[in-house]
Structure 1
């Protein structure tokens, strides 16, 4: 009985040691449920400039410390973590954490480092999506037909189509929209609302 008690005590001690000192790899843990050891590791890496670690901390502190979570999210976005940039764009606007100007600055910095990075997000921003202004000249600059993310591709195609139908676009914009809508339909389920909306818009835009 005494040996069994000692064994259980050792087992519990090992479990707690693993939780606090990271016997389990941090890569195998969800950021929301990091052990204290993994939180510390990510803080150290984030302080050295790693954007991914900053984003992990933003996730960890969600629901625990909203102020810290927001601070780390801003840090990650400003350092170019694409997940953080996407959230910054989704959460931007007057009176929100990311103002239209700060969101545009973050997006511009990412695209400046890699012109192909987040091109569709940049198009959507300058089509008046997120919290951005309509600037078709910049939209043409960022124009890209294909993307791995079907959702953002279709969002851009539909938004672009709405802007073109308003009558303020050039012929090149109409050509771009038609290509995007066709690509959106190719990647979408024919029974989906997205497919139907793209099909209607395509029919309205074709000569």
Structure 2
């Protein structure tokens, strides 16, 4: 029977993933636009750093977040001073973990889209007096919108399925930091297989819908 035990992780996962995907999308959009339009020393190193969360074990990413944003770190102390509490083991830590692991997919997809655009079209708009925002709004965005939408969906799908980094950085606190992946793990550990099956079914169904949409967008390119 589906009850409150089922819905709490689902609603929290949706809230966490929406915020995380928006944040990773905005940062990824800016980073991809900047990198795709420039050649500079150290570009390969910077892109390698951007892509690291994609290849590192999620637990390593979670450990890194604990080190850099934990109570003993400079960033962690600054956060605690500003907000009067640590970010660790709060739902915001789940947002950060989901955003970090989703960022590489967002960044790479958007960069591929920007690099696929004929630079002469953008230069032509500039020669007619368009500023950089107008070039992006009226030239780049219409040509790359499928990549942009795909990038957001990739980030959302990766974020909602995040487990390792979330468990390390946010923990598994029912009603507070327990997302669908961590809830599935705890349900299996406790032998509540029926509830685990419902959660697995919900996240698989959502992922199939989102990935199907990405496939359609890519076929239309």
TM-score tier by shorter-chain length is under 0.3
TM-score under structure 1 length normalisation? 0.27
Q: Which structure ranks higher in relative contact order (CA pairs < 8 Å, sequence separation ≥ 6)?
A: 2
Comparing both structures, which one devotes a greater share of its residues to helix?
2
Rg larger for: 1
